Amino acid sequence: MSDIALDRPPAATSDRRHDRHATRLVLFVLRRLGTAVFVLLCTATVSFFLVRLSGDPVKVLLPPDATAAQESALRASLGLDRPLFTQYIDFLWGLPRLDFGNSLAYGQPVSQILADRLPATIQLAAAAMAVTLLIAVPAGVFAAMRRGRGPDRAVMTGVLLGQSTPPFWVGILLILVFAVGLHALPASGYGTFANLVLPAVTLAVYSVAVVARLLRSSLIEVLSSDHIRSARAKGFGPLKVVLTHGLRNASLPVVTIVGLEVGSLLGGAILTEQVFSWPGVGQLTIEAISNRDFPLVQATVLFFAATFVVVNLLVDLSYSFLDPRVRTSR
């Protein structure tokens, strides 16, 4: 038996190991996709019924002096006179086709309205994430390399302020300073780089604090490990040790929080877009809630939920490429 084991080609064992890993990865993705579908179905159900507790949209769409006959006619034309369960089944039936119905306030397909507003929100979230990474990563590395010193305390003070300050207040403060006081940047609007600066910085403040703090903590833990001490013993400089050996090992929790922050930036854009009159999905959500626009509210809620679900799935899959230990444990 031992001779057979010795004569076995190493490539066969490697191929079987690769096949097992591929099978585990496929099963993992299928489980996560199933969970994602279940979460989105629950979100759709909850949003469908909760939004109808806000009141009758007919009262908002018609003038105050409208007659009961006019209200009944409008309610019938919008399909709101049908049984609630029938409306719910029709709503679920349209989800796989991304058919959310027509907006009660705009009279247009909800999917078309979302498609028109989505680029503005993606642009704002992408700019905020770029600001986050450009500031948080150097700040976290800088603080970790100077742990316990003045620069570290300065960075951590900024982190504390960033996590404690409401984004809408930051936005108002930036408008007062840079738009009203210095006349350097516009207070609202859309379409130019200047219009993007203030809302992107406002949206990024909290994310910068979260990512910088987590990266500092993760790097401090990694820099005390044995392989870092070995790299230092070989004569590598502090910056090379951190960037070459420390940053990748410290990146796993950072990737997690960055992925979650992507969803938070899209969700947090609701208030920021309102402050800066940014024509994105966030401002559209506020308008839909004010108008009791049931189909539009349901679609925007599902958009934000789907964003979180997809980002979390991508973060989980990225673990396999960042940490071999996670890869072999599946």
pLDDT-based confidence at 233, cuts 50/70/90? Answer: low
Helix residue ranges per DSSP H, 52-109: 57-61, 68-77, 84-94
Contact 193, 263 (CB under 8 A): no
CB burial of 167-190 (b: ≥16 within 10 Å; e: otherwise) equals beebbeebbeebbeeeeebbbeeb
Q: At 41, which amino acid appears? A: L
Residues 55-75 have pLDDT tens digits of: 788 887 888 777 888 878 888
What pLDDT is recorded for position 176?
A: 93
pTM equals 0.79
What token pair was written down for 204?
A: 């990024």
CA separation (Å) from 3 to 12, 16, 77, 112, 310? 16, 20, 81, 68, 50
What pLDDT is recorded for position 2?
A: 46
DSSP string, 134-171: HHHHHHHHHHHHTTTSHHHHHHHHHHHHHHHS-HHHHH
Residues 142-170 have pLDDT tens digits of: 887 777 788 788 888 888 888 888 888 88
